[in-house]
């Protein structure tokens, strides 16, 4: 739900993305431990495309002619040239579909060598930088401050300038709620769970995120905090959305974003998959993973899903809990189905500040990569030669097939 809002959509889209992709990957994936769904970095990339097409002020940056497939930089109150209302859901659905189509194209061309083109160092730097952007995007929600959304170069500096200028207008209720949530999450994740794991056989961590969501929702509901300028999640529709075909006329305007998301999602998923495959001694088919990602994105796009990726936290939790196959993902998807139909609507009084704090705490592992700079400065030259050799081998296979 938190990553659904991070992508610029309703929280329900985060639930859909945690249900459909995992169900599809269960059928065609080759990793036994990867858990697919929403991921912070991907959500941030989706938000960038979504707000470029439909900024927060509600006006399109593009008027799309469904006959000519051209675009013009005008403001037209979210309406296509033919009179069709353009919604954020349509933009993201088209983006997810384009991401899937590009992944399938790469799978057909046997282009799985792409995962070798992005080194661990580049991947770490990219995700750490993205983590800073994700963290920055949550500050105004944690403090209850209204700020304008910026785009283009130096947007982060403009954001912090707005935060500093508007710091006196922050609301005390979201601030206190965020502080309490942060302390509780840190206590569970950094102190209590490690102690329990060390001194008992109970290896599954206490679900602190779930605890703060339930307590925060009950607290907000019975104290009626929505009347005190506290932003709430709002209505979450019950059930699965009706399948809707993506607007293909949007694809030329977001295809560059789709390429980037496709490559990043594949590299993240392969990095995690290789880690688990090596540890548990089984084979991981790189091209099958690419095909699985493509099919997953293409099919789930008609149900309002955000582009999915293997999520580090959930995948690590599955592996540490002792799962041995993707049957665990099937069980997780079925539980989410219950949430979507029965529990989701009960969370309308959940404060957005709590979701933002959950995102910030979850970014700890990503932001810690910034401290690896000193170590990366002394990386072995032999590793570089070996990596280039592997890339050349994979490129040869790719061009022979092409």
What's the pLDDT at 68?
A: 40
- Cα distances (angstroms) measured from residue 69 to each of 89, 248, 301: 20, 10, 21
- Structure tokens, 292: 């699985």
Task: Work out the end-to-end distance of the chain between its first and last CA atoms, rounded to an integer number of angstroms.
Answer: 41
* Residue spans of alpha helices (H) in 144-171: 155-165
Tell me the backbone φ, ψ of residue 331, rounded to 5 degrees: -60, -45
Q: What is the SS3 assignment for 237?
A: coil
For residue 18, give the nearest of 44, 42, 32, 36 by alpha carbon. 36
Q: What is the pLDDT of residues 14-54, one digit of tens each?
A: 999 989 998 999 998 888 888 898 887 888 889 888 888 88
Domain span at 300: 2-401
CB atoms within 10 A of CB 123: 16
Q: Which residues, including other chains, have CB under 8 Å from residue 204's CB and lie 6 or more apart?
A: 317, 321
What's the pLDDT at 73?
A: 42
What's the pLDDT at 112?
A: 74
- Cα distances (angstroms) measured from residue 326 to each of 27, 32, 33, 318, 332: 8, 5, 7, 10, 10
Q: What is the pLDDT of residues 212-235, one digit of tens each?
A: 999 999 999 898 888 887 888 888
For residue 314, give the nearest of 298, 301, 305, 326 by alpha carbon. 326
Helix (H) or strand (E) holding 252: helix 251-280
In this prediction, the residues of the chain whose per-residue pLDDT falls under 70 are 56-85, 114-127, 130, 151-152, 202-203, 320-321, 372-402
Q: Are 176 and 353 in contact (CB under 8 A)?
A: no
**What gap in Å lies between CA 326 and CA 132, rounded to an integer?**
32
Domains held by the chain: number: 1
- CA angle at residue 265 from 150 to 20, to 5 degrees? 100
What's the pLDDT at 102?
A: 94
What's the pLDDT at 115?
A: 67
What's the pLDDT at 92?
A: 93
What's the pLDDT at 65?
A: 47
* Residue spans of alpha helices (H) in 301-363: 312-320, 327-338, 352-362
């Amino acid at each position: 739900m938190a990553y659904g809002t991070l992508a610029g959509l309703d929280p329900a889209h985060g639930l859909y993305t945690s249900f459909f992709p995992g169900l599809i990957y269960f059928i065609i994936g080759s990793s036994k431990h990867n858990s697919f769904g929403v991921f912070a970095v991907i959500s941030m990339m989706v938000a960038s495309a979504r707000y470029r097409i439909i900024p927060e002020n509600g006006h399109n940056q593009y008027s799309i002619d469904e006959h000519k497939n051209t675009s013009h930089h005008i403001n037209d109150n979210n309406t296509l040239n033919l009179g069709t209302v353009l919604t954020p859901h349509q933009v993201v659905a088209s983006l997810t579909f384009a991401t899937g189509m590009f992944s399938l194209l790469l799978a057909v061309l046997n282009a799985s060598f792409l995962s070798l083109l992005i080194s661990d160092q580049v991947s770490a730097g990219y995700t750490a930088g993205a983590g800073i952007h994700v963290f920055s995007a949550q500050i105004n929600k944690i403090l209850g401050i209204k700020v304008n959304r910026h785009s283009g170069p130096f947007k982060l500096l403009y954001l912090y300038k707005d935060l500093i200028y508007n710091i006196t207008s922050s609301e005390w209720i979201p601030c206190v709620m965020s502080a309490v949530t942060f302390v509780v999450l840190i206590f569970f994740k950094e102190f209590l769970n490690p102690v329990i794991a060390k001194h008992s056989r109970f290896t599954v961590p206490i679900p602190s995120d779930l605890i703060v969501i339930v307590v925060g929702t009950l607290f907000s509901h019975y104290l009626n905090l929505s009347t005190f300028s506290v932003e709430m999640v709002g209505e979450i529709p019950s059930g699965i959305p009706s399948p809707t075909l993506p607007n293909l006329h949007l694809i030329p305007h977001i295809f560059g974003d789709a390429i980037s998301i496709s490559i990043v999602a594949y590299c993240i998923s392969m990095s995690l998959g290789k880690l688990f495959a090596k540890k548990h001694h089984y084979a991981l088919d790189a091209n099958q993973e690419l095909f699985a990602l493509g099919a997953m994105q293409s099919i789930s796009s008609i149900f309002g899903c955000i582009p999915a990726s293997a999520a580090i936290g959930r995948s690590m939790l599955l592996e540490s809990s002792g799962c041995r196959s993707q049957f665990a993902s099937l069980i997780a998807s079925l539980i989410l189905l219950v949430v979507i139909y029965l529990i989701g609507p009960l969370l309308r009084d959940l404060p957005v500040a709590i979701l933002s704090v959950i995102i910030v705490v979850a970014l700890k592992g990503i932001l810690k990569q910034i401290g690896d700079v000193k170590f990366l400065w002394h990386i072995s030259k032999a590793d570089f030669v070996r990596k280039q050799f592997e890339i050349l081998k994979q490129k040869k296979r790719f061009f022979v097939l092409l």
